[in-house]
Amino acid sequence: MLCEVGHFLAEMLPRHLAAEHALCRGDADPRSETWSHRDPVTLFGAAVPVRRGWDDVSRTFRWLAGRFSELHHYEFELVSVGASGDLAYSVGFEHKTVVVDGKLTTYTLRVTQVYRREDGVWKVVHRHGDHVAHNTDHQDTAGRQSAEAEPATA
């Protein structure tokens, strides 16, 4: 149902973008706020093997945020989305230029997220992210949700 998808995107997309911007600047708290703290939750991260349970997932977010220090550019390219009842999913690409471990780097992650509505609020319960090779051709089928990031200041 398009109406359900529209409501889901209106609530979740701005929170997702804000959380990813914060994470790429070294702050894991906004991402943690978008996630369910109720098991089961899982993470198949681009930088880590599978994580199960909120304790492992949140520890991974803090570790990951500690690796980032500056966000220069973040763009989320939404490929597909669906919502029905209290479950939803999104599929897309995250295009990033960030400082990781002190080095400026640009990369793209292919990301799938599953959401569960808890007490009327959408929460992430699963994320699978992996790196995309630079020569991978993909179509922008649903549009990019971009937000240019200003370079971080000291």
Q: Which DSSP string do the residues of the chain spell out, in sequence order?
A: -HHHHHHHHHHHHHHHHHHHHHHHTT--HHHHHHB--SSP-EEE-SSSS-EESHHHHHHHHHHHHHHEEEEEEEEEEEEEEEEETTEEEEEEEEEEEEEETTEEEEEEEEEEEEEEEETTEEEEEEEEEEE--TT-----SS-EEEEE-PPP--
pLDDT of residue 140: 44
Which residues in the chain come in under a pLDDT of 70? 1-2, 134-154
pLDDT of residue 1: 53
Both structure tokens of 76: 């989320």
Residue 51 within a domain: yes
What is the reported pTM? 0.85
pLDDT of residue 104: 98
Residue 154 within a domain: no
Residue 142 within a domain: yes
Task: Provide the residue count of the chain.
Answer: 154
Residue 15 within a domain: yes
Check which CATH number belongs to the domain holding 44 and give it. 3.10.450.50
Residue 67 within a domain: yes
Domain count of the fold of the chain: 1
Residue 79 within a domain: yes
**Structural domain that includes position 122:** 2-148
pLDDT of residue 146: 43
pLDDT of residue 134: 64
pLDDT of residue 133: 80
